[in-house]
Structure 1
Amino acid sequence: DFYFVGYIFVNKELSLCYRPSTNNSFCTESKECLQYELVCKTDEYEVRHYSPTRWVSTDAEAYFMGVGAAMAFRRLFQYITGANDRGIQMEMTAPVLVKIPEETKMWEPAIYTLNFPLPAAYQDKAPAPTSDKLYFTDMPEMDVYVRSYGGWMLSVTSRLHTHLLTKELQRVRASYNHSFHYGITSRTSYLLPLLFPCVHNEVWYVADGEPVCTDPRDVNTLVSSHLSPTSRVLQQLLFMALKRFRIYV
């Protein structure tokens, strides 16, 4: 079952792979990476401000996010390694961003959009893709709510951390775009996944209006405030599993 698999996997990846996020979390393997301004940070999420940027994008239809992202990654990688109208080979930038629709069903395929940020030298005038499946996306200036985690960005881990982030945003009454979210990882996840299992990953929700940076205290927060981040995640996983099987305590 999803939640029990998640319990085992997340227990391992959190204890071995988790590191706090920084502006350089994705810069260890790329010469260029997306920069941001840290607006605020709580125990459960951080708020970042991003300036407008241009990305090269492609869509893939699949039943699972990981399958769709892998197909899309190959197309984008071909583009930056010469499959463009000028035959230009570009250095790969970071991070890799996957747009994930919020309403997905396990028995129906969904459209996943993979994005590479264009290098600074090509932000204004990028070579055109030779494939008609690729296009450019202009990301506007935005504030995003971010939750970071380590390990592989699989469907199970992505869903888990998406759930944990949305639960916290609802608790603090934050306004955000509910129609989609972003899964963020590095190129290592696709090129050398078995050699680098401890990859930095993130979940993003785009803030709607002024972001919420406070951390209001309530009974649930006070009860769990002494727990470590790993223990809080495992506590949530156990609750989700019990709820799924209609076991109440």
Structure 2
Amino acid sequence: RELFPGLVVLVALMVSVEGGVGPSNNSSFCSESKECLEYELVCKTDEYEVRHYSPTRWLSTDAEAYFMGVGAAMAFRRLFQYITGDNNRGLQMEMTAPVLVRIPEETRMWEPAIYTLSFLLPAAYQERPPTPTNDKLYFTEMPSMDVYVRSYGGWMLSVTSRLHAHLLTKELVRVQADYNHTYHYGVGYDSPLKLLNRHNEVWYVAEGEAVCSDPQEPTPPHTPTPTHTPNATHTPNTSHTPNTSHTPNATHIPSSTIADSPSDLPANRPPTPSQAPEVTPSQGPVVGESPLANSSDPQVDGPWNNTVEASLEDTPSDNSVADPTELNLA
């Protein structure tokens, strides 16, 4: 009776530990490894998603370097030697995904930082993994946790990892989310041989209840707000209709008004078109369409048109009006 409750706890612990590692076909971006870290998607926004991870066991090592890429390369060689047989049992294991790099937040450009690289142990070795022969390797128990995740493509470099970490923290501050500020994880899923469609992530461990909504905006983010023009429906559109009721234009003044004001004109001015003798069919030849006129322009049978057209004829008519330039204005 005393052993039965303890056995139940042990079995439950084994199930919970092995439940975090599963086949790679359960994930769309973890495709190169046979086994991947499984998670439960809690929620997702336009900028990040919240995942829940069960407890898992990892193999870890530390490396001190000025840049994350240099430290990760040194640590990777140690971990890779372990899974290829450098352990007390000489066992070889399949590579799993993802690979975690713990990156401290408080780092300076002129000082080295300690980066921790971790390999996920396969499901068969989660409970009893072989002991490493390198004393710089140790096991890490990852507890059950919720993490804020931001994904990006390309290569996981120091610059890109810092950039996306900054973008994620900026969004978490905006939505007033609580998270661990001392470090974050750089997460890689692909081998160095893969060149295209790479998948990387940035993790921040959530503290307290995860936040998936924006408390400051009642509407979803990235929704454009329609722009309203004030009094657009009550103001008639008169931009294309010029108002000429208060500003007289010379085109609306009758020609007779100009002709009836002799005081404004010089005495020796040639006769205006309105004073030219009218050309009738009986008085002169019929003038056809002017070669200088556009076919789309309206043709007006007035004395001014007949006078201009008559002046363009090669043989002047007896009834044509004299050219004003030939008059003696002296």
- C-alpha distance in 2 between matches for 1:155 and 1:143: 24
The equivalent residue for 1:46 is 49
- Structure 2 CA distance for partners of 1:133 and 1:25, relative to 1, 3 Å: farther
Deviation at residue 24 of structure 1 after TM alignment: 1.2
- C-alpha distance in 2 between matches for 1:181 and 1:26: 21
Gapped runs of 5+ residues in structure 2?
1-24, 225-330
The equivalent residue for 1:160 is 163
Deviations 1:48-96 (A, max 9, x none): 0000000000000000001101111111011000000000000011000
The equivalent residue for 1:211 is 210
- Structure 2 CA distance for partners of 1:85 and 1:26, relative to 1, 3 Å: farther
Deviations 1:18-49 (A, max 9, x none): xxxx9614421000000000000000000000
Q: Does 1:99 align with 2:98?
A: no
- Contact 2:62-2:115 within 8 A present in 1 as well: yes
Q: Does 1:136 align with 2:135?
A: no
- Contact 1:152-1:197 within 8 A present in 2 as well: no
Q: Find the residue that maps to 1:79 and give its secondary structure.
A: helix
Letter of the 1:179 partner, please give it.
Answer: T
Summarize the alignment of residues 107-118 of structure 1 with structure 2, pairs less than 5 Å apart: 107-118=110-121
Deviation at residue 134 of structure 1 after TM alignment: 0.3
Deviation at residue 196 of structure 1 after TM alignment: 1.4
TM-score by length of 1: 0.76
Q: Does 1:68 align with 2:79?
A: no
Gapped runs of 5+ residues in structure 1?
1-21, 227-249
Letter of the 2:102 partner, please give it.
Answer: K
RMSD: 1.9
- Contact 1:42-1:215 within 8 A present in 2 as well: no
Letter of the 2:178 partner, please give it.
Answer: S
Letter of the 1:85 partner, please give it.
Answer: N
Q: Does 1:182 align with 2:181?
A: no
Q: Find the residue that maps to 2:103 and give its secondary structure.
A: strand
- C-alpha distance in 2 between matches for 1:152 and 1:41: 24
- C-alpha distance in 2 between matches for 1:23 and 1:69: 27
- C-alpha distance in 2 between matches for 1:147 and 1:133: 31
- C-alpha distance in 2 between matches for 1:147 and 1:156: 15
Letter of the 2:142 partner, please give it.
Answer: M
Which structure exhibits the higher relative contact order, with contacts defined as CA atoms closer than 8 Å and separated by 6 or more residues? 1
- C-alpha distance in 2 between matches for 1:107 and 1:87: 41
- C-alpha distance in 2 between matches for 1:204 and 1:29: 21
- Structure 2 CA distance for partners of 1:26 and 1:114, relative to 1, 3 Å: farther
Q: Find the residue that maps to 1:74 and give its secondary structure.
A: helix
- C-alpha distance in 2 between matches for 1:181 and 1:151: 19
Summarize the alignment of residues 142-153 of structure 1 with structure 2, pairs less than 5 Å apart: 142-153=145-156
Letter of the 2:186 partner, please give it.
Answer: G
More strand by percentage: 1
Letter of the 1:24 partner, please give it.
Answer: S
More helix by percentage: 1
Deviations 1:170-205 (A, max 9, x none): 00000000010000002413xx2xx51431000000
The equivalent residue for 2:238 is none
The equivalent residue for 2:61 is 58
- C-alpha distance in 2 between matches for 1:50 and 1:186: 16
Percent sequence identity over aligned pairs: 76
Letter of the 1:196 partner, please give it.
Answer: L
Letter of the 1:183 partner, please give it.
Answer: G
- C-alpha distance in 2 between matches for 1:113 and 1:202: 16
- Contact 1:96-1:186 within 8 A present in 2 as well: yes
Q: Find the residue that maps to 2:62 and give its secondary structure.
A: strand
Letter of the 2:166 partner, please give it.
Answer: H
Q: Does 1:121 align with 2:124?
A: yes
Letter of the 2:97 partner, please give it.
Answer: A
Q: Find the residue that maps to 1:94 and give its secondary structure.
A: coil
